[in-house]
Amino acid sequence: MSDEHEARDEDAHGGEHAADGPVTAGELLRQALVDDDDPRFPRWLPLPGIVIAAGWAGWEATANGASLAGTLLWPGAAIFALTTLVAWFGWQLEID
């Protein structure tokens, strides 16, 4: 394949590329996250965080006698936020 043809292929699939500059981590992440065919935030994405946070709160309430509402607030909110963030990055980066 010629260099000119490869350059056109890169521009068609990945946008602008600096041919002589180093590729940064930010540029790699931006290229991996940009895809117009996939929705940015699907409706199902918060479900794993909700299920894990509710499961943790239920377990804490049953096993340790903790308050279900209090455990849902903390650490349930953090569990929900982190799980949703990890699921979103996994969805966007298409980790297999």
The pTM for the full model equals: 0.61
Going by C-beta distance under 8 Å and a sequence separation of 6 or more, which residues neighbour residue 79?
49, 52, 53, 56
52 and 93 both lie in a single domain: yes
- Domain of 54? 38-96
Distance of CA 29 to the CA centre of its chain: 11
43 and 30 both lie in a single domain: no
93 and 48 both lie in a single domain: yes
48 and 26 both lie in a single domain: no
71 and 86 both lie in a single domain: yes
7 and 52 both lie in a single domain: no
Question: Which amino acid is it at 95?
Answer: I
51 and 26 both lie in a single domain: no
55 and 82 both lie in a single domain: yes
For the segment 34-93, what is each residue's pLDDT rounded down to a tens digit?
665 666 777 888 999 999 999 999 999 999 999 999 999 999 999 999 999 998 888 777
